[in-house]
Structure formats: C-alpha cells, structure tokens
Structure 1
C-alpha cells in the first residue's frame, strides 16, 4: 500500500513538473518522464539505475542511455544483464525517437506491451533471456516498418506467432527461439525479402514447412530445430544460395533430402538430425565443400557412406550415427584433414576398422592422391571418435597413438580382435575409452597408465587375460573402471586404492585371486564395487562402504568372508603355550613352578588345541542361544510396536527404541489394529513389486490403509537417511498421487503406510477386466491427463518416479487416477541405473533406453518415456510387450509402424467398438509416440504434455461413451 502511494505521489509530481517546463523544452521532458515512469515498474538490485534522477534536464548522461547528438533525444536504451525484475511498463512509449531497446538477460516478467512496436523509429528490440509470458496479439506487428532486429528468445511466450510479423518489411533478423509458440509457421514470413537470420527453434510449432522460401535471396541462417514440423523440406530452399547455416534437427520431417540443396555452396553448417529422413545419403553432399559440420544422425538413411564425403576437406564435425548405413567407411575420408569429431555409431557398418583414422595408410593415400602433398593431419586433430554399435573387425592399429588430441574414443559393440595397443598410453588428453563388447584378447597393456587424463575405462565383455596392471594407479582422474566378463587373473593391485576419484568399479566374472587390498576402504567416492564371481578370498576391507556393500556385488567368491557375504572370518589366535617338562621352575619363561606335593601338569599341543576348540564351541553355542532369544524378543516387540499410538507430526513417534521400532503417522490418525496380523496373512496381500509386497489393513478408527513391506536388501541402512527421504515423500500431496501417510522403522523391518485406493490398478482394468467393466474413452483420457498432472507435480518437486507402469496407477471409486510407488528409488543407497533396473525389472517395456547407456544422464525424461508407453497401453488395451508363439511385439514399434502406414486407428482397443472421437484418439497416440522418442531431449516435459492434452480435448468431452 505504501509503495502505491509513493508511486502515485511520484507520478503527480512528474505531471506537475512536466506542465511547468513543457513550454521551455517539451520534447526533452518527454524522455525524462518516460524513463522515470519506466524505472518505477522495476526492481534494481544492483542499483545500476541510481543515476536516473527526475530533477535532471536531460537523460543523456544516465546509465544505459544514449542520445542522438543532434536532437538530444533518447536513441538507445541498453540495460542487459542487470538482474532487473518487474514488468516493462508504459513509460517507454514516451520515447518517440528510440531506435534500440535491449533489455536481455534480466528477470522481467509479465506480458509485452501491445503498443511497443508503434514507436515508429524503433529498429532493434532485444528482450531475450527473461521470463516474459503470455500471447502476442495478432496486430502487434502492424506498425513496425522500421524494425530490423527482433529477439524474444528464451522467454515463456505462448500461442501462435502473429501473422502480422510479415508486415515488418525491413526485418533482417528474427529470433523467437526457446519459447512455447504453437501452431504452424506463418507463410507470410517468406515475404520478408530482407531476412538474413530466422531462428524459431525450441518451440511447439507443427505442420509442414510452408512453400515459398525460395524468395528469401538474402537468407544466411535458418534454425527450425526442436519443433514438431512434419512433411518434407521444401524444394525451394536450394534457391537461398547465400545460406550458411541450416538446422532442421529434432522434428518429424521425412522423405528425401531435396536435391536442390546441392546449390547451397556457401553452407558450412547442416544439421538434419533426429528426423525421419530415408533413402541414401546423396552423393552430391560432397559438393558442399565449405561444410564444417554435417549432422544427419538419428534418421533412417541406408546404403553406403558416399565416397564424395572425402571432398569435404574443411569438415570438422561429421555425425551419421543411428541410421542404417552399411558397408565400409570410404578410404577417401582420409582427405578430411580437419576432422575433430567423427561419429558413425549405431549403424550396420562392417569390414576392417578403417586404419586411415589412425594414419597408418598415410603412404598409400599419398600414393593415390598426389594433391595431398602430405597434408593428411586428421590424426593429431581428432578429438571425438565414435564407431560403436557396428560390425567392424580386425585389429586396432597401434598407430592410434598419433591421435594426440583424442578425448573420447568409443569402439564398443563391434567384432574387433587382437590385443589392446599399448600406444593408448600416448593419448594424454583421452577422457573416455570404451572398447567393450568386442573380441579383444591378450593382456591390458601396462602403458595404459600413460593416459593419465582417463576418467572412464571400459573393457568389459572381451577375452582379455593376464593381470590388471599396477600402472592403472597413474590414472588419477579415473572415475569409472569396468573390466568385467573377461579372463583376468592374479590379484587386484593395491594401486587402485590410490584412485581417489573412483566411483564405479566392476571386476566381476573374471578369475581374480588373492585378497582385497585393505586400502580400498579409504576410497571416499565409491558408489559401486562389483567383484562377484571371481576366486577372491579373505576378509573384506573394513569401512562404511564395504560393511554395507550389496551381497550381490561380492557373491560367487566362496573364500571371501565378512558381514556382506554372511560369513564370519576365522579368528587369529595366539600361538599355544608349550610347556617344557624338563625345564626348571625358576629359569624357563612359560614353565609352571613346581609345588611340592603336587604333580607337574604337562599339556601337549594337541591337548591345548582340543581344549581351545571345545571352548570356542561352548562360547558359540552360548552366543547363538543368546542371539536367538534376542531375535525372538525383537520380533515380538516389533510386531507389538505396530499397535502403539502414532505421533501427530513428522518428529513425533511412540518410541525411538531400536528394539521396539519407530512408528510415525504424518496425518496424526490412530494406530494399527490388525496391522501385524495383516503382514503375516497372505490373504491380505494386494500385490508384489520390485521394492516389496503390499498388504491391506485398517486403523483403529476403521480407516483403511495399504502397507508396503519393503525389501530390506539394497535399501539404505541408516535410519536417519531412511527417515529423511521418507519425510520428503510424505510432504508430496496431489489429488492424482497416492498419499504417503506414515512409516515404520526397525533395523530389520521397514514399512510405508499409504492411503488405500479402492478401485484397483489400471493394469487390472485394462488387461484383466476388473469387475467386468471396461474403460470408456472419456475415462481413459481422464486417466492419461490425471497421470500427466501427477508426474508434472513430482518433477516440479525435483522427484523422478523411475517406475511408471499401469500397475502403479490406481483408480479410486470415482475413476480418478492416483499414481503410487513414486520416489522409492530415493531409498536406495545410490542412484545407480543398474540397481534401479534390477529393482524395477517388472517394468519391462516402460524403461527408457537411456537406462542401458551409461554415459547418458537419467532425468525426468525417463518418466516421460514411461508415460508415453502407458498412453499407448491405455489407448490400445495392449501390454507394452506381447509374447506371441513365435514373435515378440513391442507396443511402441507396432503403433509407430501403423502410423507410418496410415492405419493407426486399427490400433485402438477393440472394446471401444469404434465409439471414440478419432480427432482425439489419434493425436493422443501421436503424443505417446513423441514421448517415447529415443533421444531424451526430443521428448516434451510433462508441463508441455498437459498443454498438448488440453489442446487435444475436443468440445465433445462431455459426451460420455456408452458401455
């Protein structure tokens, strides 16, 4: 209220001042008044606008303000990167001679003033990298004849791009990227003859790219990536002969690359990745001899890599991964002497590994191509080389050591044989080396320690033998060491304990022997250490990590001992005392003094051992008896604790005694009446999952609850960690999430107490005909929408579900969906994708492909993938994976194939009997396919999914389907 009064007083003062001096210099005071009013709508935490004084006669000396020296009128206002917040007010409309307005990289919010472009002299508008939102009115650009540069990038604008944009005849640059614009691309944009740069990337634009682009004779750069454009690239693009950069990646474009693009002789950047282009890579691609970046990855190209690529001597980045290319890599590529990154992974390439990459065919190439004149220099320049997921054979050339700049090398999943070259040790810049899933043999070269920059070394699933070299300890940056499924022998070198950055180690399924170095206990960052199925022996290293290591990580080593393998280590006993019968009582240490009248007691070694063994057995029996009594007592007390009264808040509990357990109810409701009985009664079991079994019981007030009895294995061992994570989950509340109402903790028993949802799981309704009722289309749509809202809420709370599937979506009595089992992965001691995949292996078909790729970060987009599969399951009524008599049908592939063949409606659940709106069902299925795209960044986030579902919902939504 006070601020409103201050602003009102300020405005009154400004008006009075304006009236007093207007006759003297009216134009000058228009600018002062406008800027002061503009400042009043802003918060200026860095106090950069403190020089703006309303008493000044001119604003020309103010920070960020430039004036025309002739007229002394404000010509430029540049306030970039000042952390300004607030809104863009009407004060700017007073600046009638403003040429440039730049407010980028601030925190401005609200909508854009619809009269801003009516400043007839305004040529540059840059409002990028703020939080501006709302739609832009259709007539916003009707009076923009002078506008040349427009940037609204990295905001939150939505709605359609106004068609009036085509009225800005002088526009040379348009950047509307990274917003939420929807609809089709206005065809009138192609009428802007002076346009040099167009960037509409990172929006939700769809439909076909309109024809008519050929008139843009001045276009240098076009970026339509990360949208939803479909259809073919217009042929007219070849007439834009000045184009230097073309990016149409991450859309749904199809067909062939238009031949007219071979006319783009000035193009140095071409990316068509992550679309549905097909056919062969055109041979004319080699005529674009200025190309520095060529990215055609993630399409459906087939045939051989064209020989003409060898003509691209300026090429630095070449990515043809994830296609269906076959044959050999052409020898002509040895001419590409400036390559920095080369990616042919996930194709069907075969033949010997091309040795020209490593420079070993240099003489041959020089002989065939005299024009090279010794220029071949890709070897020292190449930084990224990925040829994984092909069928290359032969040996890895020892001349690989000439790739002195190499940082990333992935040759995994091929048929390479022979030894690992020792010259890898010459690669001082190498961060990641992946030679897994080949047929390599011989030993790991000791020279590998020379690659001291290595962060990840993967040699698993080969036929390597010999010992792990001590020199591995020189790779001080190493974080991941995977050598599993080889024939390695010998001991684990103590030098590994020097690698303080190690996080993940897998030495399983080898023939390693000896004991584990005790120094391994000192590694501070270990997340996983798998030594299973070797011939190791002795005691596990002491320390928190190895005391709590998963039993599966050490299994298959019969001679290992320690708590993790549930096998006690033999005690180290002192040597027995040997009594010498001939010794005198006063001279020999260790002898017994003779006592007159008593016989000298002489004990042999065997007698002492027998006595010691008997004593050990007696002590063991006593210990076991005591332990059994304590366990029985603890079990009875744990069950009894379930009937104790619960506290009213997160911190209250009936007891914190470790023997009786701790029960906390977040809602303050009464305690269990039959809870202990329910946990022992199979009749009360509702189901089982990767994290444990679920039972139904009731509280004393008759309130039903569901209790998840967690599988103790692989859960956090610390009560403090368990309670911290559970309390976070207990605070998550949403109408479409199953509420966590409490928990119970003992060292041997952990329970999660949820609200009971009476309608059963979505899985039963879809696949088991729960109660004879099948779901109508409106019911299915509402389940999809409610599930999307629940996941969006989780993601806003920084929680990934990880386990989306129809059995985890429950329906209440009114058919409203409630998603359960969210966030349980937070109860794992480490968020390891392999632990997760084993925990939730029942989610076959829902799991995103990045779970199988160690180098791809797991994000909320894995939930989006599972949601997409769930959408297709709901619409089709089919399981994610169907096992036929002689075939396996993957739901995503089936629907995608049907869509391509124009028969997607045939996939709809037959029980709907055609009683569904096709204009809703088909877009929903397409949305499901978009959510299941292979590349995580191509999938929408859940907020975008909700917006799309709202757009899909037709006016007929109130009409309930019969049945």
Structure 2
C-alpha cells in the first residue's frame, strides 16, 4: 500500500511534464501488473507518449491512435481509461491476463475500429453497448470466459466486418439478429456451449460473408439449402456438431469457396455430383459421417490440397483424376468400402505428404510414384489387399516417418534402402509374405521406435546393426524363418520394452548383459532352438511380467533370481531343465509353466520322472556346497561394491554440502539414501531422471528420484528453489506442490536433498507401480472391476483436493495412468507434479503456457487454440484415464487409425454399441455399473470445457454409482440401478 501511494505521489510530482494523453496512459499503467516490465518506458523521462512501447500516433495530429500490447503478460482489470484517448482507433490486448468483466462504458471508445481482447480472462456478459460504437469493424473476444447470450443488439452494428467469439462459455441460441449485419465478412462462433439450434437461414442473407466458423456450436437439423446464396464464402466450417440429412446440392454453388469442414456430424446420403464450379476449393473434409456412394469424379478434378473422406461408407474406386491435383498433400480415405487400385501416377505431380487408405478393400500394386516429390511422411495402407512388392523407389523416400503396410498380400524382398529410412519411427510391415533377410542398413533408422515385421517369410539372422537403434521400444519379428543367434549388440538397446521372437529358427545362448533391459516388459522366445542356461540376469529386470522361453533347448537349473519377478505369463515348458524348482514356483499355480522338463523335481504331479524312487544325496550335498561357495563369493563381492559406493558417497559428502529439507518426520539420513543408489536398484527411468528403490535399515522402502541435469544455484534449498540451469527438470514444481499438500491420495514426498551437482526427491514407495504399467501389461487380470473402481475414486479424490481444497488451486497438467501409483493394497496416489501449476483464481495472473504440457492422448482439445491452464484440462485427462480403466485400451493405439481413445470410444459406441468398448476381462455382472463409469469418462472428455463437470462433481458421481448399485443389489440382487435426477446429465451419454 505504501509503495502504491509513493508511486502515485511520484507520478503527480512529474505529471506537469506530460500531455493529457500521457497522463491517461500513466493511469492505465498504474492499474496493470507488468512483471516483465514492457511498460517501463511509460514515464516522464520521455515526455512524448508516441515513443512509448506499444503506442502509435497519427503523423498529422500527433495523437495516440493505436495501443498494441499483445502477449506481454500484463494483468489487471480492463483499462477503461483508454477510451479517453479521443482518436484511439486500434486497441489490442491479445494474450494477456486481463481479468475483469468488460464494462458497459467500453462504448465510450467512439472512434475504435479494431478491438482485439482475445486470450484473456474476461468474464461475465458481453456488453450489449458494443454495438453503440458505430466505427467498429473488427471485434475479437475469443478465448475468454464470457458467458450468457450473444447480445441481440449486435445486429445493429453498421460497419462490422469481423466478429470472433470462439471458445467462451456462451449459451442460449445464436441470435437471428446477426443476419442483419450486412457488412459482416467473418463470423467465428466455434466452441461455445450454445443450446441446440439450427444453422439459421438468416445467416445466409449475409452476402458479404467470407468465413463462417461454427464448429462445436451444438447445431442440429440440416444444412439449409440457402447456403448457396453466400457467393463470397471462402471458409465454411460446421464440424463437430449434430447435423444430419444430406449435404445440400447448393453447396456446389459456392463459387468462391476454399475450405469446407463438415466432419464429425451425422450427415447421410451421397456427395453432390456437380463440383465443377468450385475452382478455388482446396480443402474438403466430410469425415466421420454416414455418407455413402461413389467419390465424385468432379471433386477429384479440382486442384485440392487436402481431401478427408475417412470413416464413411464410400464405395467404388478412387477416381484417377485425383492424381492430377497439383497441390494435393493430404489424402485420408481410411475406414470406407473402397475397391479397385490406387491411381498409378498418384503423387507424381502432387507434393503428397500423408496418404491413409487403411481398412478398405483396395488391391493391386502400390504406386511407385507416391513419393516422387520426396515429401511423403506418412504411408498408411493397413488392412487392404495390396499385392506385389514394395517399389524400389521407396528406398529413396527419406521423408517418411510412419510406415504401416500391415495385413496385405505384399511379397518379395524389402528394398535395402527401405530398411534404412532415417526419419521413420514406426515401421510396420507385418502379416504379409515378404521374404529375404533383414538388411544391415537398418542401422540408419536412428529414429525408429517400433519395428513390427512379424508373420512374414524373412530368413537369415538378425543383423548386429540393430543394436545401434537406441530409441527402439518394440521389436516384434515372430512367425518368420529367422536363424542364428540374438546379436550381442541388442543388449545396448536400453529402451526396449517388448521383444517378441517366437516361432522362428533362432539358436545359441542368450546374450550377456541383458540386465540393461530395465524397461523390458515382455520377452517371448517360444518355439526356437535357444540353448545354454537361462541367464540369472533375467531376475534383475524390474518391470518384466511376460516371460515365455518354452519349446527351446535350455538346460541346467532354473535361476532362483527369477523369484524377483512379478510375472503374469511364465512358461519354461518343453526344455531340458533340471534340478529343483525355486521355492516360490514350486506351487500348483505354476505347474503348467514347467511341463516337458523331465529333469525337474518338485512335488507337483507330472513334472518329475521317477519321482521318489531314489534320492541322490551325493548330488544334493554337492549342490549345497557349490551353492554355499557361490553365496560366499557373491556376498564378498557385494560387500566390496557397497563399501566402495559408501566411500565414494562419503567422499562426495565431504566435497560438497548437501541440503536436506524434510516435509514429514522420518527416521533415516541422507547417507543411508545416497549409499544405496546403484544400478541394481533402478526401478524406472523417465524424461526427468532415474527412480531407485531403497530399502532402509528399518525395513521401510522409499523411492528416490534422481533428476537429470539442471544445476541449482549455490545456496538454494528445496524450500525456495531458483533454477540456475538452462533446463527445467520439474524439480521446483514438484517440491513446491508436494511439499505443502497432505492427502491420502497424493503421493507423499518425505524430503528432498540438493547440492550443486545433484537433486534427489524421496517419496513413499508404491510396490504395485503405476496404473498404466499394470493395466496395459499381462498383469491386467489383477485389476478386477472393484479394484479399478476403487482406483478411479481414489485418483478423483486426489485431484479434487488439488482443485478445490488447495488455496490457491493446483492444476496437475499431466494426469495420466502412468502418474497414478498403487500401493500394496492397490490404493491410488496421484504423482509426478513436475509440470504442475498454481492457479490464482483471485487475480488470474497465471501466464499462458509457452508449450503444451501433457502426454499424447491425454491432452485436452482446447490446447489447439489456447494454452491457458485451468482445471478443465485435468478433468479431460482424468476422463481419458477412466476410459482406459473401462476399455483396457491405451490412450493412443495404432489400431485406432487416426483416432485417439476418446474418439474411438465415442465412434464405436455410436456405431456398434457399448459392448464393443468394454474390457472383455471384466466381470459381466458389473456391466451396468461399468457403463455408468464409462458415461462419466465420456462426460469428462467433452470437447467443450464448460460441459466437463468439476472434479468435486466427478467424485460425487463416481461414489453414487457404487452406492446405488449396492442399494439395488440389496433390494433384488441385480445391478439395474439408474442415476438419480441430480445425475441426469449422464442420461443420454451412451
């Protein structure tokens, strides 16, 4: 307060040096927060405000006519004083944190031509007095929090050319009075929660209209045939609505049209045939409808840039004329009923970047011209009947990033150059009849993440060059004719999560060093000729849960280290293993894991030949002595390593001061933690660092996250972190968030430890890992419906605490199944707050995010047009988690095509029914309860943020589901309950 008074006194003492407009702008500055000091030159050192930042003056009158303060992070109420600038014609406060209602007095800006207030936090009703500004030509209020109806007075604008209200919370219906703005050229109303209404015929009277954007406006009914009257219309977007009926033939009368977006509606019928008048049409998207018939030849005759007809019922062949489109870069026709061949010269003159004709009935050869211009990045042809070989020209197509040729009739050798495309991250050619060997040029695929070549006729050995693919996550080449051994270099691929080589002719011993596969989840070597002993290193793989070594020639004892694994699939049958079973596996539960090994001995029927007829005490004693010697040697080696590590840590402690900041009472020291951070204890590696499991002297386990890079300034502690490195590793956000919150469903941060060189976060240990790892692995059977339901309620309560009980609220920004951890009783904790943000609801001064935070498949759709942080984005991500739990599906899966889980669920429920999305592993007796939870997930993932319930409401709805089910069960033993009236917003979701 004192500082504010001093500023005013200083201003008054110098005001005599400024003119009247300078005084006005000074008052504006005092009403705003300017953390980045963009307005620092708005002072008396320069008495001419025409020289100030963002100010432009008329060269004749020398008066202010433009104030442009876009994207400078200022905050505060709308500065009404600006309207006192009598000649102000241009005002832009775009992308700031202006956070009040827009006052009725805005109408005093009587000379304003342009009003640009998009991407702020303006709220309340849009002032009806705006139309009193007779000079207004351009109004952009997009990306705010305006609510209520569009004022009917807007029909009185005499000169308005652009009206943009995209992404607010407007309701009611679109007023017919807008049809009276005869000067209007752009009308942008997309992504508001209007009441269901038709596309008004009055709007078709706007003969000057060039852009009509009404995506996500809850439009119903049919597209009026009068749309053809808009002869100047260039962009027509009514996507993501509930329109039905045919596409009117008058659409082909829009002779100026450039872009038509009708996707994600319920349109039916055939496309109009007369497209010859649309000489300027560049983008045509009618995907995700119920259209049928043949693709019109006249449409393909146009110089299109993008043609999206996917997820309809089009049939027949693709017209050859599409190959003559000189600008075509995107062609998406997947999930139709197309037949015939692709045009032979497709791509020859077009700068084709994306072609996706998956899931049709196309046949013939793949045109060699698809990459003729060297621009093709995505080649998606899965589930068709293409035949012949891969064109040799594709070996030169270095622009490719995604290759999906799965399930066709392709054959022949894969061109050597095609094996070595440098930018490909997904290479899927499985389920064909390819022959030949895997080329050594595969080493050039340095960006490769997924390699799927299963179910072909590949021969020869796996080249050692595959060990150079350090980004490889999945390698599946099962059901081929491969021979030779697994190359030793493959152990260098530390990111490997799945290795499936079953049903080949591979042989030899498994390579040394497989302990480096810390992320390996599945290892399937069934039906090969592998020999030698099973490496005990397998027991050190922390996340391995699928292990199948059956039908090979492994010999020797089963390593007791395999007891360390938590396996859902375990099969060592039909080998030549001998000796006793490890005690953990000597149970009836695992009998079928060891069949066909006559040398194995255990009290399990059918495993041991001549069991009990003789006891080889000599062999037993010899084994005991050998084992004791090995234990002694291993123990001494372990003690030596631990002692060396302790000394190293101790020396490190002497060289640099550690700062320990605790958030809970605990009974351990930093020496005990730091002395246990060796590679054997790593349980996970992520973008921010490694995570270790440390068992303390008192028997309690903790998880220790050691962060990569990002040095901290000297003297900083965990409680008041200032990042001194270039890179933000999430340390500050995690400490600031978890250090001050307490909740049973938020992971507990015991303490943090920092030095100049390292940062450590010590958490409670979650023995069942993350929900994502468990749900999408072979251990998913552990998660029955009641367990899943409890997990989703726990996670919802944790997020509700962040949103509603923390002051100020906290937005997690990276909600996903991998950030929900499970304790020994499958109780859930929300974790990983590295990108969390505090939202100050009082001042709303939080910045826009410069980058999108989150993970693919979980990111809310509004990030496409705003980077604002709010709780609604968390709710969308949590809705995706609900859909994961109900369906058992990943949020992004190649089987979905271009869809993510949200779109796949909505589409499948609509087209096939709810039974086709439910996880078949769930008990069908809970189907009604599962469907209700699915409804909540769909509601949370609504495209419009305003339609998503609050997290407090989500918790209540989830709790009501089980409460009602139990009540109904108590009455008649059946799960047939329905939502009460206060939950009726879910009634029509499914």
Which bin holds the TM-score, normalised by the shorter protein? 0.5 to 0.7
Structure 2 CA distance for partners of 1:621 and 1:650, relative to 1, 3 Å: same
RMSD: 6.1
Which residue in the other structure is 2:811 paired with?
796
Shift of 1:526: 5.0
Shift of 1:738: 6.5
Shift of 1:309: 3.6
Q: Which runs of 5+ in 1 are unaligned?
A: 22-27, 362-374, 572-609, 628-648, 660-714, 753-760, 768-781, 809-818, 834-839, 896-908, 910-923
Shift of 1:37: 0.5
1:408-447 equivalences under 5 Å are: 408-412=401-405, 414-419=407-412, 421-422=414-415, 425=418, 428=421, 430-436=423-429, 438-446=431-439
Which residue in the other structure is 2:74 paired with?
84
Contact 1:270 1:294 in 2 (8 A): yes
Shift of 1:74: 1.1
Structure 2 CA distance for partners of 1:390 and 1:538, relative to 1, 3 Å: same
- Name the CA distance, whole Å, in 1 between partners of 2:916 and 2:462: 49
Structure 2 CA distance for partners of 1:550 and 1:136, relative to 1, 3 Å: same
Which residue in the other structure is 2:308 paired with?
319
What SS class does the counterpart of residue 141 from structure 1 fall into?
helix
Which residue in the other structure is 1:336 paired with?
325
For residues 934-961 of structure 1, the C-alpha deviation after alignment (integer angstroms, 9 at most, x for no partner) is xx899965559969x99xxx999699xx
From 174, 181, 188, the equivalent of 1:185 is: 174
- Name the CA distance, whole Å, in 1 between partners of 2:819 and 2:419: 46
Does structure 1 residue 44 correspond to structure 2 residue 34?
Answer: yes
- Name the CA distance, whole Å, in 2 between partners of 1:454 and 1:751: 28
Contact 1:297 1:321 in 2 (8 A): yes
Shift of 1:931: 5.3
Q: TM-score under structure 2 normalisation?
A: 0.60
- Name the CA distance, whole Å, in 2 between partners of 1:294 and 1:277: 15
- Name the CA distance, whole Å, in 2 between partners of 1:228 and 1:190: 19
1:938-949 equivalences under 5 Å are: 942-943=949-950
Contact 1:486 1:509 in 2 (8 A): yes
Which residue in the other structure is 1:158 paired with?
147
Contact 2:905 2:917 in 1 (8 A): no
Range that drifts further, 291-300 or 715-724: 715-724
Does structure 1 residue 218 correspond to structure 2 residue 208?
Answer: yes
Q: Which runs of 5+ in 2 are unaligned?
A: 351-367, 566-575, 579-616, 635-661, 673-690, 706-733, 751-761, 771-782, 834-854, 858-880, 958-978, 985-990
Which residue in the other structure is 1:303 paired with?
293
Which residue in the other structure is 1:514 paired with?
508
Which residue in the other structure is 2:5 paired with?
5
1:574-593 equivalences under 5 Å are: none
Contact 2:392 2:415 in 1 (8 A): no
What SS class does the counterpart of residue 130 from structure 2 fall into?
coil
Structure 2 CA distance for partners of 1:269 and 1:284, relative to 1, 3 Å: same
Structure 2 CA distance for partners of 1:517 and 1:151, relative to 1, 3 Å: farther
For residues 83-114 of structure 1, the C-alpha deviation after alignment (integer angstroms, 9 at most, x for no partner) is 32333323213212101111223333333333
Shift of 1:13: 5.9
- Name the CA distance, whole Å, in 1 between partners of 2:322 and 2:440: 30
Greater RCO between the two (CA within 8 Å, min separation 6)?
A: 2
- Name the CA distance, whole Å, in 2 between partners of 1:311 and 1:294: 13
Which residue in the other structure is 1:346 paired with?
335
Does structure 1 residue 234 correspond to structure 2 residue 224?
Answer: yes
What SS class does the counterpart of residue 418 from structure 1 fall into?
strand
What SS class does the counterpart of residue 283 from structure 1 fall into?
coil
Contact 1:864 1:939 in 2 (8 A): no
- Name the CA distance, whole Å, in 2 between partners of 1:190 and 1:393: 51
Structure 2 CA distance for partners of 1:283 and 1:437, relative to 1, 3 Å: farther
- Name the CA distance, whole Å, in 1 between partners of 2:894 and 2:229: 41
Count of residue pairs the alignment pairs up: 733
Which residue in the other structure is 2:625 paired with?
618
Which residue in the other structure is 2:254 paired with?
264
Shift of 1:381: 5.1
From 850, 853, 857, the equivalent of 2:891 is: 850
- Give the greater-gyration-radius structure (CA): 1
- Name the CA distance, whole Å, in 2 between partners of 1:327 and 1:255: 22
Which residue in the other structure is 1:646 paired with?
none
For residues 183-242 of structure 1, the C-alpha deviation after alignment (integer angstroms, 9 at most, x for no partner) is 322222222222222222333334232222222222222222244333322323222222
1:878-917 equivalences under 5 Å are: none
Contact 1:349 1:390 in 2 (8 A): no
Which residue in the other structure is 2:267 paired with?
277
Contact 1:478 1:499 in 2 (8 A): no
From 163, 168, 172, the equivalent of 1:174 is: 163
Structure 2 CA distance for partners of 1:210 and 1:750, relative to 1, 3 Å: closer
1:65-144 equivalences under 5 Å are: 65-130=55-120, 132-144=121-133
Shift of 1:53: 2.4
Shift of 1:164: 2.7
Structure 2 CA distance for partners of 1:958 and 1:216, relative to 1, 3 Å: closer
Which residue in the other structure is 2:43 paired with?
53
Structure 2 CA distance for partners of 1:938 and 1:120, relative to 1, 3 Å: closer
- Name the CA distance, whole Å, in 2 between partners of 1:958 and 1:505: 43
For residues 687-717 of structure 1, the C-alpha deviation after alignment (integer angstroms, 9 at most, x for no partner) is xxxxxxxxxxxxxxxxxxxxxxxxxxxx985
Q: TM-score under structure 1 normalisation?
A: 0.62
Which residue in the other structure is 1:251 paired with?
241
Shift of 1:162: 2.7
